Chain A
Amino acid sequence: MTRLVKTVTEMEGRFEEKWVLVEDDGLVSWEAEAALRHVGHPTPRLTGPQRVSGAARYTVDVALPGMLHAAVLRSPVAHGRVTALQVAAAEAIAGVRAVLTPASELGFQQRSGPLHDEPLYAGAPLAVVAADTLAAAREACRALAPSIEPLPFTVDIETAWQEQRFDGDLHEEARGDVEAALAAAAVRVELVVSTPGQLQTPIEPHAAVAWWKPDELVCFIATQGMFDARAELAKRFDLPPERVRVITEYVGGGFGGKQNAGFEALIAAELSRRTGRPVRLVLDRHGEQLDGGCRPATRQTVRLGATADGMLTAIDAEALVEFGMSGWRAVTTPALTLYRCADVRGIEANLRLELRRGNAFRAPAVMEGITALEQAIDELAIETGLDPLELRRRNFADRDQSADLPYTSNSLLWCYDRAAELAGWPDRDRWREPQADGLLRGMGCAAQIWWGGGGPPSHASCRLGGDGVAQVVVGVQDIGTGTLTAARMVAAEELGLPLDRVTVRGGDTAPAIYGPVAGGSQTTPSVMPAVRGAAAAVRRKLLALAGDVFEAEPDDLVVDDGRIRSRDGGLDEPYTAVTAKLGQASIDGSGNRGPNPDGYRANTFGCQIARVAVDPGTGSVRVEGIWAAHDIGRVINPLGASSQVEGGILQGMAYALSEQRVIDRTTGVPVNATMDDYKVPTMMDTPPIVVAFAPLPDTLLNTVGAKGLGEPPIIPTAAAIANAFRHATGRRAAALPLTRARVLEAIA
């Protein structure tokens, strides 16, 4: 039965009540002990051969007949007024087809920009050129030779705070009376922590190829959300959505920074509209590092109150955020939710600076918050003389502290125990003994909370042809998370087919089968139930047809390993015994993600332990091991999931040790907006990583029992490393990353 139901949906902690279309699929979640043939077994990814052979086509590889190339002129100053652009000189260059400046009348609507005559950050786009060759477009950008009158700027958090340069209102969320609770606390700690600006740095930069055809706008976009991109293009250019097609077959990493259509697709579409030619716009690396986005820097103060035996009685978290996302406040969310505590307050101020505004970067805001909160909890453990994990166990929150609702599942205590067991945590103090190599060693831990329950709407279709091969279509692109592989596994499971007889297509809005943006760890728990539903619909129809063919009761038949069998064992025929009779027809099914259960919160949890070695002579910090235990419900593909965890940990490790957008305060310009100077980790930096998943599916949440995994692994790593540094050296650095200078200062 098809229904419209009102349900609460969530994306990165933003809750919304909305109507969604639901077709009841009659499925119940696979139980923990269900014997599954594909789901839960390590499976290599679907598109592996294309990706290892160079055959995969990314947006930057799209070349169309007559295609023009676009280049962007960017502001060299943090704040200024463009008084002149030499447009005629640029247009005079051979091969130049279009020059867009802030004065250009554009075919789409945008509140500010996209081209600026008063740039508000270094790297802001001033003008764009499309030309026959990229070289000509770049030469024309140089020829524009902007005259810029410099204007005052503020690029540091302290000055912005003193000047009260708020972006939006102060955000406060509180329960109880935190000041009274702090005053009455037997034990108090206060910690001030600064966290760095971190750049997503996808290896494929932001890119789009747009082709404005007479009857359709076709855009190839390196985006995490092709349907969001389609909606944005349709809205801005005032086109019906069905006349916009977004194709995103492969994406070279996103990490949160590639949402919607973005500047690139809007501008490429506009240039194509003007010139009648396909247009490719790919950010160069400098442009990507200046304007691709960032996790904003923060300065946070955490005050904790507790009883002498470590029961938290007060949590007070304040965060100053260096120009984060508009209207998005979640740095203090962990303080409000991770531990059981009656008197809690979180205050956040988003400060307006002449910097590129922050955008989503894997676990936006929550990672920053955990990095401060979990260091403060570590200080409380030291103050109370308790084992840091024991302190966390004592303050375990078995229900959502803000909403006062139970969780659909919560295996955080299991994660504490498992991470401790894997890391050899009980013996951690032995690492502090004098070491033969003169290094200082220590171990630290940190916990993690994130949403990641997903929800509707999300749809899938499944078609079984005469050859007995099923084709699944989903409305999402695979940005490297293994989504399409997981979809193949789920469909094969439900259809009783071998993996090689299920294909999965995504990355194209043309089939008009909707899927959500790949963000917030929502893809797996949103899309996989829809895939299962679509496959189940096909399975039921197939068995009904098999009942006709074999003169059997469909309820007595099952599918397994590409065969149709009767429960009593009397019938055992290949799929094709039925499907071959279909001729050109096919068996079709559709599925959708059902509503989330009322009265619950769905969250992911985890714990990581890090061991570090600090060289007191040079100040270098090496991570020697990370042990990670996460609760993400059912793990669809343990192989892909372990890859996700390793990747998240390495980005989190770099946040603690090396990655930082460095701004020259005298010019307001980022000085390390290159891959040479912005230090992402290499293989040489990679420590041994051990990964474990809680063995408990979330059967309340959805029909596959899975929660999401994109964000969880990055969240606790930096705090665990900072706590390990504290254990090793007895000192805590006031700011991350732990550069050599900071380390030497901290241990001096």
Chain B
Amino acid sequence: MLVPERGGAVVPVTVVLCVNGERHEFEIDPLERLADVLRDRIGLVGTKVGCGEGACGACAVLLDGRAVASCLLAVGSAAGHRIETIEGLSRDGLTPLQEAFIAADALQCGFCTPGQIVAATGLLRAEPAPTRAAVRQAMSGNICRCGCYPKIEQAILSCSGGDG
């Protein structure tokens, strides 16, 4: 993949993305944000852009299983990696974690919720039984302005094999 010089006209390059197990090919400026490509080109609008500066976590997606801010990721650098969005996680019905969010009322307006679910999914895959401290650390990059943190923490811990 060739990256064009900035400053002049953008030269689109071919970028192949693997999103939720499906192959997508674009002729695209490789510096476009992954979040925009997911939302505007593939129509996966479950990924939200809250701040566009990597500070809120609403745009979290899993990149090879790890939660990343898709608003800070150039689409060119996502090529060749396995990308999972909230739609991918929900494809076979709600996961136990999503059910736990509903049961605990770990959401209010719900705008940050896809990002919270994605980040927590990444955490639980890497560490199936996180301690309470590990949950708080891992989730501190996901802002919930409605203030659902006590219940998000509770929902994640209810899906954890750990004793908290």
Contact = CB atoms under 8 A, between A and B. Distances in A.
Q: Do A and B bind each other?
A: yes
B45 interface: yes
A51 B145 contact: no
Contacts of B39: 61
B98 A52 contact: yes
B107 A52 contact: yes
Contacts of B58: 203
B143 A684 contact: no
Nearest to B133: A684
A48 B101 contact: yes
Contacts of B152: 683
A689 B46 CA distance: 30
B113 A52 contact: yes
A650 B98 contact: no
A59 B58 CA distance: 15
Contacts of A204: 48, 50, 109, 111
Given A201-B145, A203-B143, A52 B111 contact: no
B105 A44 contact: yes
Interface of B: 39-40, 43-56, 58, 85-87, 90, 94, 98, 101-103, 105, 107-114, 117, 135-137, 139-153
B53 A58 contact: no
B34 to A, nearest CB: 15
8 tightest Cβ-Cβ pairs between the two chains A and B: A54-B46, A252-B111, A480-B109, A51-B110, A647-B147, A54-B86, A650-B147, A48-B102
Contacts of A45: 102, 105, 107
Contacts of B112: 203, 252
Contacts of A674: 51, 53, 55
Contacts, number: 170
Nearest to B118: A54
Contact of A57 (B45, B87, B141): B45
A675 B94 CA distance: 31
Nearest to A200: B145
A480 B106 CA distance: 11
A170 to B, nearest CB: 35
B105 A682 contact: no
Interface stretch (A520-528, A572-580, A638-646, A720-728): A638-646
Contacts of A681: 147, 149
Contacts of B117: 52
Nearest to A58: B111
A643 B108 contact: yes
Nearest to B107: A51
Contacts of A686: 136, 147, 149-150, 153
Contact of B102 (A44, A205, A643): A44
Contacts of A479: 109
A204 B108 CA distance: 13
A53 B90 contact: yes
Nearest to A48: B102
A56 B113 CA distance: 10
Contacts of A44: 102-103, 105
B137 to A, nearest CB: 7
A643 B51 contact: no
Interface string A188-230: 0000000000000111110000000000000000000000000
24 contacts: A45-B102, A48-B107, A50-B110, A51-B107, A51-B110, A53-B87, A53-B98, A61-B39, A61-B45, A203-B48, A250-B109, A252-B50, A285-B51, A480-B107, A639-B105, A642-B105, A646-B150, A647-B146, A676-B55, A680-B143, A680-B145, A682-B143, A682-B149, A683-B142
A239 to B, nearest CB: 30
A55 interface: yes
Interface residues of A, number: 55
Contacts of B141: 682
Given A203-B143, A285-B51, A682-B143, A646 B151 contact: yes
Nearest to B156: A683
A50 B107 CA distance: 11
Interface string A274-290: 00000000001100000
B94 A52 contact: yes
A44 B101 CA distance: 9
The B contact surface, by secondary structure, is: loop
B161 to A, nearest CB: 20
A7 interface: no
B56 A203 contact: yes
Contacts of A482: 108
A56 B51 CA distance: 19
Chain A CB within 10 Å, residue with most, of B87, B94, B98, B111: B111
A55 B98 CA distance: 13
Contacts of B109: 202-204, 250-253, 479-480
A537 interface: no
A344 B100 CA distance: 51
Contact of A284 (B52, B101, B107, B143): B52
B137 A684 contact: yes
Contacts of B150: 646, 686, 688-689
Contacts of A450: none
A712 B44 CA distance: 37
A456 B85 CA distance: 44
Given A53-B86, A204-B48, A255-B145, A647 B55 contact: no
A649 interface: yes
Interface string A462-491: 000000000000000001111000000000
Nearest to A251: B109
A650 B150 CA distance: 10
Interface string A623-652: 000000000000000011011101111110
A152 interface: no
A49 interface: yes
A253 B90 contact: no
